[in-house]
Amino acid sequence: MSVVTLTLDGRPVSAREGATLLEVCQESGVALPTLCHLDGLSDVGACRLCLVEVAGQRKLAAACVTQAQEGMEITTGSERLVRYRRQIVELLFAERNHVCAVCVANGHCDLQRLAASLGIDHVRYAYQHPALRLDASHPRFVADHDRCVLCTRCVRVCDEIEGAHTWDVAGRAAGCQVVTDLAAPWGESASCTGCGKCVQVCPTGALFEKEQAAGGMLSKHRDFLTYLKNAREKKEWLR
Amino acid sequence: MNREELEALAARRRAADGERWHRVSVCCGSGCHSMGAEQVLATLKGEVGAAGLTREVQVHASGCRGLCAAGTLVEVESGPADGAERHLYVGVDPEVAVRIAREHLVDGRPLSEHHADPSDPFFARQQRIVLESAGRIDPEDLESCLAAGAYAALEKAVSEMTPAEVLAEVTASGLRGRGGAGYPTGLKWSTVAKAAGDRKYVICNGDEGDPGAFMDRSVLDGDPHRVLEGMALAGYAVGAEQGYVYVRAEYPLAVKRLKIAIKQAERLQLLGNRIFDSGFNFRVDIRIGAGAFVCGEETALMASVEGKRGSPRPRPPWPAQRGLFGQPTLINNVETLANVPAIVRRGGAWFAGIGTAKSKGTKVFALAGKVRHTGLIEVPMGTTLREIIFEVGGGIPGGRAFKAAQTGGPSGGCIPASHLDLPVDYESLAAVGSIMGSGGLIVMDETSCMVDVARYFMGFCREESCGKCIPCRAGTVQMHELLGKIAAGRGELDDLGRLEELADLLGAASLCGLGQTAPNPVLSTLRHFKDEYLAHIEERRCPAGVCGAGARAEEVRA
């Protein structure tokens, strides 16, 4: 295994060749906010929260999809980057109807955690309050588009881990929505196996199990992806 | 097919054309087409038939001639090909067509009216490389294209030159990407040529989506063989055997003519296996876009060609390394590829002699908006905006004053009158906050409101964002809303700061070029026309009288 050395926030670090900058940060204990990324799924570089500055490059790099290279100088927490991250999270809150107090994921939500960690206590952008529908046609699960941040974790887990590819994104721009099959009600989906992986990886309360009260969606465990991966690739069946 | 056969075919056609008294070409580009060119063509054919002159007079359709504002255009060429007498008629309807047939074609007395003046700067100031044959040839008739020199460059390349030599000519020409970014074409080609892969692909990007831009459409429907030849030359230079033309579905005429062109070229083995009896194979297929602006972005375009949702992905890996179906892929714009046959035929040094130090060759512009000669023009790089708008374009109609020129569409900016003497090249336009873009040039006079223009383009990006990354998907919504608020006379001074802060986010944090450049129309109007924003905010008034704020100033205040 060859190793590259780079500078992370002024500190020399080493990384295995081919590692992403996000992995380097995680291994070095540098906290970088993420939303669309989830260990065990492919990376799409969509949420733009893990953007970092690379010395000598005009453009910012999304750490999750940028490979560590010899001699790179990375800055992860400049004033500008922090400002962008706050803006992005504020834009998400303004985009749909995120009302924590009545959300099943209250207290267990990645978006909420992000906002708290970035010190966001109010939103400066105009709330869009779109009129979205809720799909409760599935016998066990509910899709509440009001809480969806379009991270596509559900799309990827269904395609890459479950192999069903029930979920995908339909529409464009602010009108994008995750859909099951060809936008059929979830309960009528022919491809859905009912495995619930999408519910487990959903960062917010957009996908949840039925019969949950506000704050009740406690059971999400995202580490199962690592467990599945270890089981499949290393034949280790321990949790 | 070999060189002798190609030359014989072309010579036979030229001789046959030369024997006719008159050769009449009716512009059937999209502009004239929409003004009834087909009827004019049918009328002329009918009259010539009725007069019993079908052997002496040839009537055919041609591609776009550029002067779209004065359609339908009809050219009558008389006498031998070299030194022919030419008459260009403008504003031809079926009635005028009857007169042209009876008076000019039959009686030999050209009409005194409906004439375009060939010494008009619109014609005299242009220099045509990409459009050299468009408007003369019949794009649906391969022989007519061969007579104008089509596929001679490809023949020369595959029989006399190595791929490296073709690449060297393109590099020497200094050609830069005409899609807007201006990346050196030779450099892009050599990266793909060097890349390792089982197969390589050439993609022609014809997903022209900027509002007001129709350069690629006119090249594709006026001279499709030139684009196919450019693609084949690119394939030869980089080692690809498969090409895709990605055309938007909104261009049905271009799609139809491309289909015909590919079929014709395959029949004569100008495309397909063992082209010109060499070892070079190259096939071209068409892929039709489904109406998304973002599919002009190269990674989204490749996803769309693969049959997937047209969303961009982060680069690197660059298409040259890992592109279509994971293989090294060359993506060039229509106009870029249409330059290549001329470069190979006449040499890179010839091309490099045209234009400015860093921007070589010519540029096709689609003139639109408040300008007399709306249509398609091709001028050398470095021509000033003033020359383009006031000489070639004929100036602003109605005696109104020029306000701004918008270049680069939703990724570009508005250039004010103080920069009219700017030479049009990649660097100069970037220096004043706009971009060369693909060639859309919208002229605006004092009746245009710059806040409204910025709002329009932001609305466009808001609709066309693919929705993948948050800054673009949600940021354009907020920017559009702020601009709408200002236009409606409800803006506050703080809103300008909010706009700038969001523009900074979109430019720096968006995933692809759509989001990264979406703030440009706002930033450039804020830079050059801040007084208009301030009038809307502080005085609740629209100086151009476009926005609601102007009409209902008092109401708004109350």
- pLDDT tens per residue, range A111-144: 999 999 999 999 999 999 999 999 999 999 999 9
Phi and psi dihedrals of B516, rounded to 5? Answer: -65, -30
Q: What is the mean pLDDT of residues B418-429?
A: 94
Cα–Cα distances (Å) from B179 to B86, B426, B525, B549, in that order, read 34, 11, 23, 37
Task: Give yes or no for residue B558 having a pLDDT over 50.
Answer: no
pLDDT at site B552: 47
| Span B305-363, pLDDT tens digits | 999 999 999 999 999 999 999 999 999 999 999 999 999 999 999 999 999 999 999 99
Q: How confident is the model at residue B557, as a pLDDT?
A: 39
What CA–CA distance (Å, rounded) separates B226 from B301? 22
Burial of B159 (0-12, 13-18, 19+ CB in 10 A): middle
- Kindly tell me if the per-residue pLDDT of B447 is higher than 70: yes
SS3 B467: coil
CB-neighbour burial class of residue A41 (10 A; exposed 0-12, middle 13-18, buried 19+): buried
Percentage of chain B modeled with pLDDT above 90: 88
Q: Given this model, what pLDDT does residue A211 score?
A: 86
Question: Exposed/middle/buried for B399, CB within 10 Å: 0-12, 13-18, 19+?
Answer: exposed
* Summary mean pLDDT of chain B: 94
**Distance of alpha carbon B29 from alpha carbon B23, whole angstroms:** 18
Which residues contact residue A109 at a Cβ distance below 8 angstroms, ignoring those fewer than 6 apart? A100, A103, A203, A204, A205
- pLDDT for B39-53, tens place per residue? 999 999 999 999 999
Percent of chain B predicted with pLDDT > 70: 98
In this complex, the residue of A60, A65, A176 whose CB is nearest that of residue B467 is: A176
Task: Find out whether the peptide bond into B316 is cis, omega within 30 degrees of 0.
Answer: yes
Nearest-by-CA chain A residue for B470: A47
Residues B64, B29 contacting (CB under 8 angstroms): yes
> Which of A125, A172, A182 would you mutate first to test chain B, the one with the most B CBs within 10 A?
A172
- Cα separation, B388 vs B369, in Å, equals 13
Residue A56 token pair: 């000598």
Per-residue pLDDT at B69 exceeds 80:
yes
Rounded to a whole number, what is the distance in Å from the CA of B525 to chain A's nearest CA? 22
**More confident position, B71 or A20:** A20
Q: What is the pLDDT of residue A239?
A: 63
Minimal Cα distance from B514: which residue of A? A173
* pLDDT higher than threshold 90 for residue A215: no
Looking from the CA of B328 toward its CB, the CA atoms found within 13 Å total 20
**What residues 130-189 of chain A have any CB closer than 8 A to a CB of chain B?**
149-150, 168-169, 171-176
pTM of the model: 0.94
**B7 in contact with chain A, both atoms CB, cutoff 8 A:** no
Mean pLDDT of chain A: 94
Residue B362: helix, strand or coil by DSSP?
A: strand
- Judge whether residue A90 has pLDDT over 50: yes
* Nearest-CA distance B133 → chain A (Å): 39
pLDDT at residue number B551: 45
Which pLDDT score is estimated for B224? 97
DSSP structural state of residue B272: B
Residues on chain A touching B471 (C-beta within 8 angstroms): 48, 84, 87-88, 91
Section A63-70 average pLDDT: 97
Q: Would you say A98 and A150 are in contact if contact means Cβ atoms under 8 Å apart?
A: no
CB-CB neighbours of B93 under 10 Å = 16
Binning pLDDT at 50, 70 and 90, where does residue B82 land? confident
On chain B, the residues whose CB falls within 8 A of the CB of A42 are none
